[in-house]
Amino acid sequence: MAIMDWGESPFGTAHIYELRAGKYFAKVSDFGATLVDFGSDDIGSVVLGSDDLSFYLGKCGSIGATIGRFANRIANGRFTLDGKDYQLNCNESPTVHLHGGNVGFEKRLWTAVPDSDYAVTLRYISPDGEENYPGALSVMLRYELRADGTLMLHYMASTDAPTILNLTNHSYFNLGCENILGCEVTIPADRFVETGAGSIPTGKLADVSGTVMDLRGGVVVGERMGDDYLKPTFGYDHCFVLGDDRTSDLHLAATVKSPDGVKLECFTDQPGVQLYCGCQLANSPLVGRTGLLKQYAALCLETQVFPDAPNQPAFPSCVLRPGEVFDTTTVYRLSR
């Protein structure tokens, strides 16, 4: 495994770990436990990113990063746990807490240990009160690349006090395309998390049948972007229901196919997957390895518990207690 110093972050020197398995490659950084690159020799890179650390030090839309403590949104940044109220930072708007707050896991320096040429384990200890979350949290993430094009992300975490936790990866997949409008997305979900103002869940898990949210048969992304239901979010930025809780088995969460036959499959044991189509990249000043980032340049498949779960009793629980182990796996598989 090739390891190189990447530059100085606010918390120390960041590094890049280059994974290789057959024709497939990945680059992982200890800054934000970030997937900097992923692809193959014949297909090329299939994710947005940059070889320049400064790209990630700024407001890069969480590209490639590990998100925590809570991926997605929490209404008013508030939740109650065991009768105690907690107020988190509202960093997306005055009423929305997003992706862990002002300085989430994506901006922290993790400790990395290479396991082999094709795997690296990263760890981070989040102290009690960080971003106003309760409990000291110990997190581990192992990236493993395999010669069949599989990139496995295995998360584990434990806490010394009751807390909430919802981890995900925020890679933007473009499958080597200029944008993803011509890509076909399939998500085998018959329900989705209905949202209202600020993309906060209404509490309803709505039926996808007969709606723009029905992606079970495969849909070309660009054919639906003008639908009235998607206008408030400028496209897909919604959580699809894969199950009513975590499972012990991996199940297919989504399949994306490019016009020239590149395929990405996503598997998870999580109950939901957030499809985000890069709707807010329209005014991005960032320049990545493919040039200036533009709206719909790529999409995210964020496996997770549902947004605002701490405030929605009917949603799967996101509570982690002492003695319990948060243990979840997500797999991305690339092929042609």
Instruction: Catalogue the active-site residues.
Output: 170, 302
Nearest CA-CA partner of 270 in 284, 288, 254: 254
Phi, psi of 212 (to 5 degrees): -65, -10
Angle at 18 between CA 15 and CA 20, to 5 degrees: 165
Cβ neighbors of 228 (< 8 A, separation 6 or more) are: none
119, 145 Cβ separation under 8 angstroms: yes
Element (H, E) at 53: helix 53-57
Cβ neighbors of 307 (< 8 A, separation 6 or more) are: 72, 73, 74, 193, 195, 199, 200, 201, 239, 274
Q: Show the tokens assigned to 26.
A: 């990945």
Distance in Å from the first CA to the final CA of the chain: 26
> Residue 327 forms beta bridges with which residues?
156
Amino acid at 317: S
Cβ neighbors of 253 (< 8 A, separation 6 or more) are: 187, 188, 240, 242, 266, 267, 268, 270, 273, 301, 303, 330
